[in-house]
A and B are shown apart, each in its own frame.
Chain A
Amino acid sequence: MKNTARLFLCALALSASFCSRTRNTPRNTPRNTPSNTSRNTSNTPYKSNKEPQRVISLVPSLTEITYALGVEDRLVGVTTYCDYPPEVKEKKKVGDFLSPDPERLRLLKPDLILLATPTQAQLAQDLKAAGFRVAVFNDPRNLAGVFAQIQSLADTLGTSDRGKELVDSLKLELQGIEKGKELSTYIEISEEPLISVGGGSYLTDAFEHIGLVNIFSDLSQGYPVIDPEEVVVRSPEIILLLYPNADRRNVQKRIGWSRIPAISRNAVFDSLPVDELMRPGPRLIRGLQITDSIVRHAF
């Protein structure tokens, strides 16, 4: 127990990754870029006249984007957390997202490794120093950032046109969601401790696009630990539970919460597309569509 302080720092860094299967993973690491779309693109552009042919992705969302771009045949290695689309099972695993096995990386002879900051900033430096070619992407802070990241990866892989097509179709899908009445929303991504989504996460912006206004959007952190009483004070109209095995009955029974409009009106939702929403990749819009239809159906 004496090393808890050190462990806590470690955990903050580790948990800050968006690439785990994002079950209950909070991200508290402050983002080093402002929520400005143009700065959300790759900050180490890959310069080569030759398109990379042997790519390793160390981030599940970037793996998903690579598949969506249709260039998955160039993917020679992924992390153990990459689980979508199902075919990704056949790809070689290089380890988890923070400590991939360097020997396995070298054996795969990659000409490009995909990483994300701020979580993997140190790893990116180390890999670069070891002579690997890396492309680093910043965590998106809003929907525009998600689109920019898709385009940026497409450019890096030399499939700019396909990237534009994908982004355009996603934007079209997003426009297709009719923005209903605005509802104040409490989003819970972990039950114990109680973790919500703050203004620093792309989710706040994404949900706002479908009319769900995050009650904690004023908090600058991405995934803040919150006081249960704070939820009572901010009295949301709906509650979204974004973790696996969420049970709305437990939430409805919480002591002191009965006066929250979402509870008294029975507007607590637990079977939501968690993976789609928690990964800033090509499935995000579909996740929003499903969430929207579930929520609007009930209202």
Chain B
Amino acid sequence: MRSNLGWIVLVVLLAGLSLLALAFGPAGLTLDSQILASRAPRLLLTIFAGGILALVGAALQGLLQNPLVDPYIIGSSSGAGVGVALSLLLGWTSVIGRPLFAFAGAAGALFLVYTLARMRGRMSRLSLILAGVAVSFVGSSLVMVLMVLSREQLAQIIYFLMGSTKVVFTPTKLWVFAGSAVVSLGAAGWLLSRWRSLDILSTNIEAAESLGVDTQKLTTEVFVLSALLVGVVVAFAGAISFIGLVVPHIVRFIFGPRHLKVLPASFLAGAVLLVASDLCLRGFAMATGVDLPLSVVTTLFGVPVFLYIMRRRLA
């Protein structure tokens, strides 16, 4: 019963907030077609980024059976950060250049983690976490090296690391984004199709193999799909924090542990949270002229909700 109501609330919230995001901005409340044309891509990117990050967070938490896992633990966002820093250092900041570098960095990190995590041809979940964390740290260090080398672009790199969906779109960039988003939704669908295996893994790790779950194959699949999805999000919106960690917890509290529900509901809830955060940020900037990083807002917004639910759950 609660879960039915949950779906309705999520869909209504997302629709309402989306309308608000389209109607509301520096130009005031307007339905002017040109203004809407510039607000719509930002809204789509926000929904996409929030949804994918939460979905990937839920899938990885399910796979790794660890409540502290977030999409950035598998190293690909850190690789994307290296790519972006490199593109800024080399002056390759064209419309396609930056996402391309970010994605190449993410793919490089994916390859590295995959190679490191495989031992004697086996891919274990523990080695995946360890390799992911190691590559993340190496990536962060590389970003810092690039930052020191390019102090002039430092603020841009930092801004990127804080995440933002306030992107200026040109038609070319919009097409690149649309293409990546369609492919990504396909990958998200693939991830969703593994719900049954993730459920079995969550309830009974020891018996999973005997219940017909090929944990190795599943680990590889979920890891590669997640890394690619995070790479796409980070390439366009930077490293938005918190959503991928917390939204799945909130969703599991409302919808229960079944991944068939948790994965799509996480997508919706992540999108809701990010659209709401972006609206707050926009309102704040219009009122004060100060631009807050998106990650700050998602965190300030999400933590109270998270704590409330955690306390009720433990009580």
Residues in A lying within 8 Å of B, measured CB to CB: 1, 3-5, 7-8, 10-12, 14-15, 20-26, 28, 81, 96, 98, 190-195, 218-221, 224-230, 232-233, 244-245, 247, 250, 253-259
Contact = CB atoms under 8 A, between A and B. Distances in A.
A4 B295 CA distance: 9
Nearest to A255: B169
Contact of B171 (A23, A195, A244, A255): A255
A225 B159 contact: yes
B152 A227 contact: no
Contact of B166 (A96, A220, A221, A228): A228
A191 to B, nearest CB: 7
Contacts of B4: none
B155 interface: yes
A103 B99 CA distance: 42
B22 to A, nearest CB: 12
Contact of B152 (A10, A25, A218): A25
- Rank and list the top 8 A-B pairs by shortest CB-CB distance, nearest first: A256-B38, A15-B155, A11-B158, A225-B291, A253-B170, A230-B26, A23-B152, A229-B26
Nearest to A16: B155
In this complex, the member of B27, B147, B291 whose beta carbon has the largest number of chain A beta carbons within 10 angstroms is: B291
B38 A24 contact: no
A262 B164 CA distance: 26
B98 interface: yes
B93 A255 contact: no
A1 B98 contact: no
A195 B156 CA distance: 10
B91 interface: yes
B interface, size bucket = 35 or more
Nearest to B161: A4
A192 B26 CA distance: 19
Given A192-B98, A229-B35, A245-B93, A24 B152 contact: yes
Given A20-B151, A21-B152, A220-B289, A4 B167 contact: no
5 contacts: A4-B239, A25-B153, A193-B291, A228-B38, A250-B95
A1 B241 contact: yes
A1 B152 contact: no
A28 B25 CA distance: 23
A8 B158 contact: yes
B152 A259 contact: no
Given A192-B167, A227-B286, A229-B25, 14 more contacts: A1-B72, A4-B239, A11-B158, A20-B151, A221-B289, A224-B291, A227-B25, A227-B282, A229-B27, A233-B26, A250-B94, A254-B168, A255-B174, A256-B39
B78 A1 contact: yes
Contacts of A1: 72, 77-78, 81, 136, 140, 161, 239, 241
Contact of A257 (B38, B98, B167): B38
Given A228-B166, A245-B91, A7 B161 contact: yes
A11 B153 contact: no
Contact of B168 (A15, A194, A245): A194
Given A1-B239, A257-B38, A227 B166 contact: yes
A240 B171 CA distance: 22
A87 B39 CA distance: 50
Contacts of A221: 289-290
A259 B151 contact: no
A59 B136 CA distance: 35
Interface string B174-199: 10000000000000000000000000
Nearest to B292: A225
A23 B156 CA distance: 11
A232 B35 contact: yes
A52 to B, nearest CB: 28
B218 interface: no
B6 interface: no
Contact of A191 (B37, B81, B168, B169): B168
Contact of B170 (A195, A229, A250): A250
Contacts of A14: 151, 154-155
A81 B154 CA distance: 14
Contacts of B286: 227
Interface string B133-174: 000100010000001000111111111011010111111101
A192 B170 contact: no
Interface string B28-61: 0000001101110100000000000000000000
B95 A229 contact: no
B285 interface: yes
Contact of B154 (A11, A21, A28, A245): A11
A187 B78 CA distance: 32
Contacts of B77: 1
B108 interface: no
Given A224-B289, A229-B25, A256 B78 contact: no
Contacts of A253: 170-172
Contact of A20 (B37, B98, B152): B152
A258 B95 CA distance: 18
B151 A219 contact: no
B153 A227 contact: no
Given A24-B153, A227-B282, A229-B35, A193 B164 contact: yes
A194 B166 contact: yes
